[in-house]
Structure 1
């Protein structure tokens, strides 16, 4: 009996850890609905919203939810080689010798896509067509 209770506790730890964070229940519930197989979830407050960093389908990701549980966006870590050609060309032209520290694909709640590249401690944001927006 003790072994089965211990196994149950170990199996529930990832789920229980989601509730142990400082995120409102509606945000946590929405996260679990959108990413049911997520592991290693860690919540952070992001201005008025809540960001959860996690692993999902062997990928490092994050997602942002409002206090009421509305999904705003998800961000998937990608390699620099996975950036669109137009983004890579811009980075090569304007930051030729710089190291690209992080790259990500951002999918907004409306389905629109953005790409992010961290270069020289700056986050550069590109739209889905590869044009610089920020």
Structure 2
């Protein structure tokens, strides 16, 4: 329950902050943040920085269009990383839960979200009538779902 409340609170905070995020030039990003980003993602391309509240958000791609979003604090610590992944990279437990609880829906997109040591998966599920964004734990537990 604490994880769900934390996850929901974090999601709402990011949504509110994202409303006020603004694009910035790479020269406006502290060097510690840029250096840590380059160490972590040396093959990043199509890099775009935003000031997101007091944190720095970077949108980028790796390889042939794999989208990533990462947030850093002013000290250069990575706060969160979101990576688009193919459904074949979802844990078996998540696939099992989708097949049992959402069997009338198909996977339209998925992301792996790492925040500290916690890994969750956001999956967009849809059919002709409905669309859902569902956040799963790595063990397949539904942490949050919202009709899209």
For residues 14-50 of structure 1, give each alpha carbon's deviation from its aligned partner in whole angstroms, at most 9, with x where no partner exists. xxxxx82486324333312321221111223445533
Correspondence for 1:123: 133
Rounded to whole Å, the distance in 1 between the matches of 2:88 and 2:43 is: 27
- Over the aligned positions, Cα root-mean-square deviation in angstroms equals 2.7
Rounded to whole Å, the distance in 1 between the matches of 2:74 and 2:132 is: 28
Q: Say which one has the larger Rg.
A: 1
Structure 2 stretches lacking a partner, 5+ long: 1-23
Q: What is the correspondence of 1:50-61 to structure 2 with a 5 Å cutoff?
A: 50-58=56-64, 59-61=66-68
Give TM-score, length-normalised by structure 1: 0.66
Report the Cα offset of residue 113 of structure 1: 2.1
Preserved CA contact (<8 Å) 2:25 2:49: no
Report the Cα offset of residue 97 of structure 1: 2.7
Correspondence for 1:71: 78
Structure 2 counterpart of 1:36, from 12, 18, 42: 42
Correspondence for 1:11: none
From the superposition, tell whether residues 47 and 101 of structure 1 become closer, same or farther in structure 2 (CA, over 3 Å).
Answer: farther
Q: What is the correspondence of 1:45-124 to structure 2 with a 5 Å cutoff?
A: 45-46=51-52, 48-58=54-64, 59-110=66-117, 112-120=118-126, 121-124=131-134
Rounded to whole Å, the distance in 1 between the matches of 2:100 and 2:50 is: 35
SS at match of 2:83: strand
Rounded to whole Å, the distance in 2 between the matches of 1:46 and 1:92 is: 36
Give TM-score, length-normalised by structure 2: 0.61
From the superposition, tell whether residues 108 and 92 of structure 1 become closer, same or farther in structure 2 (CA, over 3 Å).
Answer: same
For residues 58-116 of structure 1, give each alpha carbon's deviation from its aligned partner in whole angstroms, at most 9, with x where no partner exists. 54322121233220122221112221222112222333233422201223333x32211
Rounded to whole Å, the distance in 1 between the matches of 2:41 and 2:115 is: 15
